[in-house]
Amino acid sequence: MIGRIVNFRGGRRTHHTNQMVLEISDEISSKKENLVKLMGKKVTYKAKTHDIIGTVTRIHGKRGVVARFNRGMPGQAIGSVVEIAADVSVAVTSVNPQPEPSKQDNI
């Protein structure tokens, strides 16, 4: 599943560089029950040289979640895409491949 980093989690005078607010795609975030299923799932931000791994800690608003990462995130990460390893039934939206032609059609 794909998410997008919106901003650091923070308040009026402070921000936490290892906690990010993530926006999830519309099909998942339409119901809070689906967002609750993401709690504890692994999140991976792929930088140029290494990966930064975190976990989803809580829900944020209607369409987002908060993720805590192992180390501070760079400012360039805002607006970029992260991968969320989740097995949510709504998240599986694979394109149906073309069915293979049967051997009888070729005869």
Q: Say what the pLDDT of residue 94 is.
A: 42
Burial-class residue 92 by CB neighbours within 10 Å (0-12, 13-18, 19+): exposed
**Residues 53 and 8: beta-carbon distance below 8 Å:** no
Q: Which domains does the chain have, with CATH numbers?
A: 2-89 (2.40.10.190)
Where is pLDDT greater, at 27 or 77? 77
Q: Say what the pLDDT of residue 102 is.
A: 60
Q: Say what the pLDDT of residue 17 is.
A: 82
Q: Say what the pLDDT of residue 68 is.
A: 93
Question: What digits encode the pLDDT tens for the residues 29-72?
Answer: 667 777 888 889 999 999 888 899 999 999 888 888 999 998 78
Which sign does the torsion angle of CA 79, 85, 91, 95 carry?
positive
Encoding tokens for residue 30?
């339409």
